[in-house]
Structure 1
Amino acid sequence: MNVHDSERLAGLLEDAGYVKADQGGDPDLVVFNTCAVRENADNKLYGNLGQLAPAKTRQRDMQIAVGGCLAQKDRETIVRKAPWVDVVFGTHNIGHLPALLERARVERKAQVEILESLETFPSTLPTRRESAYAAWVAISVGCNNTCTFCIVPALRGKEEDRRPGDVLAEVEALVGEGVIEVTLLGQNVNAYGSDLGDREAFSKLLRACGQIEGLERVRFTSPHPRDFTDDVIAAMAETPNVMHQLHMPLQSGSDTVLRAMKRSYRQERFLGIIKKVREAMPDAAISTDIIVGFPGETDEDFEQTMHVVREARFTNAFTFQYSKRPGTPAAEMADQVPKAVVQERYERLIALQEEISWGENKKQVGRTLEILVAEGEGKKDDKTDRLSGRAPDNRLVHFNPSLRGVDGKHSTRPAEPVRPGDVVTVEITYAAPHHLLAEGPALGVRRTRAGDAWEKRTAAPAAKPAGVMLGLPTIGAPAPQAAEPAGGCCSTD
């Protein structure tokens, strides 16, 4: 959700005349889009703002804006702690950013604007999408749940659903631009329809996506076990372009802890969903979220979580040590678990899940898979002469871009280079806990409209239009002046 909001912010700023900053100097504008789910988000923001102070001192016209969930939560606190910030905006008014920046520039004072309810659904705003071949599509915003550890409903508000026709129109437009994979987004995606009076709206939406010609892969995140119904499982199993991949947040395997969390399901219900999904889709890859050390969690409670992990055999798990979020009921609960105990449990959980992930990935060895080639997924691709991408079940695969010869032994480079957005057929030869390898030559390459779109986007750009620069400057104290001019560098975000 935050990544997609950042794409909206980039689109708004480009429409207002900003251009992405080149590496090598201080930009005119830096925007932080923040999260508030975990405590380290606060620390990271204020640390980065502190490091930006010298850049602001040497370039007084540079503007700094802070938005998103942490801005919605902290409001005036941000300007008090970092008075060099120019704009603070919340989750409900990202469309106001260009106007707030201009007002701050004219009035020479910080602008803080936080709305309590959504003014414009974000998907109506312009977008600068990060990918030419895969796209996020928001179907709802906000959440009606009251989980005691979560501050998101207080910051993003009650759930609001888009009309199905608007969602499908956006998907069709994206496909027309070359996108072949879409991920439907919602804070509680399978509660979609609560605003529309249709409990089966989400499964109907999945099936409707299956009718869009040229759309090859449909995913969604994140569902809630409470609202996960049989019609959604059927839609996943029966709609060819809906991937057999499911992210199902567990949070805890203990009924006692789930009750304290106000998670309206229990262990039996959760494992029942997993069983039904696997019966309908034996090849489904299922991932989860788990919180370790929730207030009051006992050794027996934690062992119940370990039991569910063993039973469910998740492909992977996003595991978190509980951290207090001011403003949530859990932050005020008694029996906060000591840090040392949380750490020990966390390490045990990680070790178990690593073992399971590796075991599940080993089952993929020998399989032939179609890989959607990705950009930037393989950090070592340049050194290994490999490319990387995602299998239909979203597993990360690194592969050899050479093509197998007619005799099955010799290999050659494809006549045309393999591009992000193209689809490569490979045979899996090795499994690690978090990725798969296809070390032999690829069995085939299918050049796609998505690859064409990526190639068009990355072609030599035309002359850059006039505008102000958006990016992240070199931070900290300026480097000493050298005897001769030297090129600088900066990172953009």
Structure 2
Amino acid sequence: MSEAAPRTYQVRTYGCQMNVHDSERLTGLLEDAGYVAAASDEPADVVVFNTCAVRENADNKLYGNLGHLAPVKAKHPGMQIAVGGCLAQKDRDTITRKAPWVDVVFGTHNLGSLPVLLERARVQQEAQVEILESLEVFPSTLPTRRESAYAAWVSVSVGCNNTCTFCIVPSLRGKEKDRRPGEILAEVEALVAEGVTEVTLLGQNVNAYGVEFGDRQAFSKLLRACGEVDGLERVRFTSPHPAEFTDDVIEAMAETPNVMPSLHMPLQSGSDRVLRAMRRSYRQERYLAIIDRVRAAMPDAAITTDIIVGFPGETEEDFQATLDVVRAARFSAAFTFQYSKRPGTPAADLPDQVERAVVQDRYERLVALVDEIAWAENQALEGRTLELMVAEGEGRKDAATHRLSGRARDNRLVHFTPVAADGAPVEVRPGDMVEVVVTYAAPHHLVADGPVVSVRRTRAGDAWECRTAPQPAGVALGLPTVGVPAPLPDAPACR
């Protein structure tokens, strides 16, 4: 008697890096429970939506996608749909009322319950809704199926103690909860043993790390400790908060060779008046002083940011103050957003909501300035030799251009041609290191179309090759797409 085929799954992720990391946990839980990834051309037995509640259109996107799945589910008896993440935490029973064909709703604090809830919904033939108000198990203790063989997220904390008036995240993720340094370093060392050579330390506000156990310099100490991990070549982190960004972190970045010279420092607004209304506990002068100190310690650092346009009460003078900061800071990139009114946030009830046409005009002017500066900063790198970690899935046009892509130490995206000086093809794998000379700059990427200067095969490349090697017939691993973790373009990071 033959065994039944394992049930298949698909996880769809929306939002910030924290959601991407949570989806790795969900994938690990499902595979640990015996599910396998669905083929791209086949409907999955279980579809999980890991949602975001930061953007105004998050609700519409979710219910639109759920609506598209309703007829698919009707044609496939036994199919299940689960909704988790921030929007699930916020809307709770609303989801099953609006989309009664959803089987499971779970929150941000109980990721580990998903397999049990799916089975309970299947047996009882009714929707299961479980939303916990506080974290019971730190997500990093759950099984994980990482997206990348060579780069990994590592959570240092979850939750946030800030009270920004535009942000709904603290009410959905809860107060900050820190992991002990030893637990974090043990996870980093285990990842390196598996072949990972790049980690990104992840938290809603990473430089507040240590507040729970009373060490204000815990994050800089953690960066330095990562520098002692043999085989770990690159360390990044996201995202800090300007109000709590201290000089000991800058010193640790500058003095620890494997901590990369890239920094994402959310601005949100350049106007002191707007920052006050946002409850952002820093002002323009303090923000620019941080940028100056970072550049003094690391002249080649690439600094990126988040900016919100059209916050309630924002005047043209306020907007010009934001443009002034952009010109002074010379960001290598910026994630720019039009203010989204989110029910449940203090800003939603503020007077003087800015007209959409005005917001759109300011947004377009901001994007034009950001692109102009980013392009000029990238052009300054033409002719420079850069070290890249080869990536997979980053260059959307790589197949058409016959290029590969990689990330420089400062996290800039570089597309390069894998050929030697004599024109012969150069074999490199994701996770390997190459040196290339930049030949062309665009606002959002660099191009190196000359010969590859050098190639260094790495344990990370070995790990990628092992993961992607053809498997013997009859063994189904259900591997998800492989790719280096990177900021998602459709939502700001939660900070």
Which whole-Å deviations, capped at 9, do the CAs of 1:205-250 have from their partners, x for residues lacking one? 0000000010000000000001100000000000000000000000
1:328 aligned to 2:345?
Answer: yes
Match 1:412 to one of 421, 424, 429: 424
Cα distance between partner residues in 1 of 2:478 and 2:192: 31
Match 2:236 to one of 219, 222, 233: 219
Q: What's the counterpart of residue 461 of structure 1?
A: 471
Q: What's the counterpart of residue 277 of structure 1?
A: 294
How much does 1:61 deviate? Answer: 0.8
> Could you say if the C-alpha distance between residues 201 and 467 of structure 1 is closer, same or farther in structure 2, counting changes exceeding 3 Å?
closer
Cα distance between partner residues in 2 of 1:61 and 1:126: 25
Aligned length: 464
- Is the contact between residue 12 and residue 98 of structure 1 (CA under 8 Å) also seen in structure 2? yes
> Could you say if the C-alpha distance between residues 398 and 466 of structure 1 is closer, same or farther in structure 2, counting changes exceeding 3 Å?
closer
Cα distance between partner residues in 2 of 1:245 and 1:105: 47
Q: What's the counterpart of residue 368 of structure 2?
A: 351
> Could you say if the C-alpha distance between residues 102 and 240 of structure 1 is closer, same or farther in structure 2, counting changes exceeding 3 Å?
same
- Residue identity matched to 2:461: G
1:22 aligned to 2:39?
Answer: yes
- Is the contact between residue 66 and residue 89 of structure 1 (CA under 8 Å) also seen in structure 2? yes
Q: SS in structure 1 opposite 2:211?
A: coil
> Could you say if the C-alpha distance between residues 465 and 106 of structure 1 is closer, same or farther in structure 2, counting changes exceeding 3 Å?
farther
The structure having more radius of gyration, on CA atoms, is: 1
- Is the contact between residue 18 and residue 470 of structure 1 (CA under 8 Å) also seen in structure 2? no
> Could you say if the C-alpha distance between residues 161 and 381 of structure 1 is closer, same or farther in structure 2, counting changes exceeding 3 Å?
same
* Aligned 1:183-198 pairs, distance under 5 A: 183-198=200-215
Cα distance between partner residues in 1 of 2:62 and 2:376: 38
Q: SS in structure 2 opposite 1:67?
A: strand
Which whole-Å deviations, capped at 9, do the CAs of 1:356-383 have from their partners, x for residues lacking one? 0000001111111111000011111111
Cα distance between partner residues in 2 of 1:462 and 1:140: 40
How much does 1:413 deviate? Answer: 1.8
- Residue identity matched to 1:231: D
Q: What's the counterpart of residue 436 of structure 2?
A: 426
Which whole-Å deviations, capped at 9, do the CAs of 1:18-61 have from their partners, x for residues lacking one? 00011332221000000111112211111000000101111131
Which whole-Å deviations, capped at 9, do the CAs of 1:100-148 have from their partners, x for residues lacking one? 0000001000000000000100000000000000000000000000000
Which whole-Å deviations, capped at 9, do the CAs of 1:229-272 have from their partners, x for residues lacking one? 00000000000000000000000000000000000000000000
Which whole-Å deviations, capped at 9, do the CAs of 1:136-164 have from their partners, x for residues lacking one? 00000000000000000000000000000
Which whole-Å deviations, capped at 9, do the CAs of 1:394-445 have from their partners, x for residues lacking one? 00000010122xxxxx33223xx21000001101111000000101010011
Q: What's the counterpart of residue 162 of structure 1?
A: 179
- Is the contact between residue 153 and residue 202 of structure 2 (CA under 8 Å) also seen in structure 1? yes
Identity %, equivalent residues: 76
1:443 aligned to 2:453?
Answer: yes
- Residue identity matched to 1:462: P
Cα distance between partner residues in 1 of 2:109 and 2:440: 46
Cα distance between partner residues in 2 of 1:467 and 1:203: 39
> Could you say if the C-alpha distance between residues 82 and 239 of structure 1 is closer, same or farther in structure 2, counting changes exceeding 3 Å?
same
Match 2:148 to one of 110, 125, 131: 131
Cα distance between partner residues in 1 of 2:239 and 2:289: 18
- Is the contact between residue 312 and residue 353 of structure 2 (CA under 8 Å) also seen in structure 1? yes
- Is the contact between residue 147 and residue 480 of structure 2 (CA under 8 Å) also seen in structure 1? no
Structure 1, unmatched stretches of 5+, are: 405-409, 472-493
- Is the contact between residue 421 and residue 448 of structure 1 (CA under 8 Å) also seen in structure 2? yes
Q: SS in structure 1 opposite 2:382?
A: coil
- Is the contact between residue 309 and residue 362 of structure 2 (CA under 8 Å) also seen in structure 1? yes
Give the alignment's Cα RMSD to 1 decimal. 1.4
- Residue identity matched to 1:429: T
How much does 1:298 deviate? Answer: 0.5
Q: SS in structure 2 opposite 1:182?
A: strand
- Residue identity matched to 2:384: R
Which structure has more relative contact order (CA 8 Å, sep 6+)? It is: 1
Cα distance between partner residues in 1 of 2:476 and 2:366: 53
Q: SS in structure 1 opposite 2:449?
A: strand
Q: SS in structure 1 opposite 2:237?
A: strand
